[in-house]
Structure 1
Amino acid sequence: MTKDELAMLDFAVKWAPFGGGDEHILPEFGVFPAVFYRRLQRLLTRHPSVNDSVRRRLDELCTVKLTPARPDRRRSHSRVPTMH
C-alpha cells in the first residue's frame, strides 16, 4: 500500500464515525468527495490486508456517499386524506 493509500485509509477510519468528514477531503487530498470515495472503494478491493470489519464499514460508507440522494418523499405522505 502506498503512502497516499494509507493516508486515505487512515482518514476514512478516523472520519467514518462522524459521517466521513467530506469538508476536509478536498483540502487534504485535492479531490472532491465522490472521487475520494470511489478511490477508497477500489483500494478496499485491491488490498486484502485491510481488516474485514473495517473493509465492510468503509465500503458501506462509500456506498452511502456515492448513492444519489433520493427526492424528498415526505411531500407525497403529508397530504391529509379526504373523507367521503
Structure 2
Amino acid sequence: MAHANGIAKQGGAEAAKIGIGLGIFLMVIGAVLAYGITADIAGLNLDAIGMILMVAGVAVVVITIILMMMRRDRTARAAMDDTDVL
C-alpha cells in the first residue's frame, strides 16, 4: 500500500534496515561467545550458544533480503499496472 506521502514505503525500508542490523548484531554476539570467551560456565556451552546465534543472524539477514526483493518486485509491478497515470 503506497500512500501519497510515502509513509508505507519508508516503513518497509526502515524494517529492512532493522532486520539486517539485527542479523549482524546476532552474528557478532555469537562470534564473541564462540571464539572470544574462554570461561567455563557450569551448564552452559558458550561455543554452542555462539554458533546458534551466528546461524540465527545469517538466517535473519537472508530472510530480510528475500522479503525486500519480494516487496520491491510487488511495488514495481503495481506501478506498471497503474492505469491512472498519464
TM-score (norm 1): 0.31
- Which is greater in Rg? 2
Task: Kindly indicate whether structure 1 or structure 2 has the higher relative contact order, using CA contacts under 8 Å at least 6 residues apart.
Answer: 2
TM-score (norm 2): 0.31
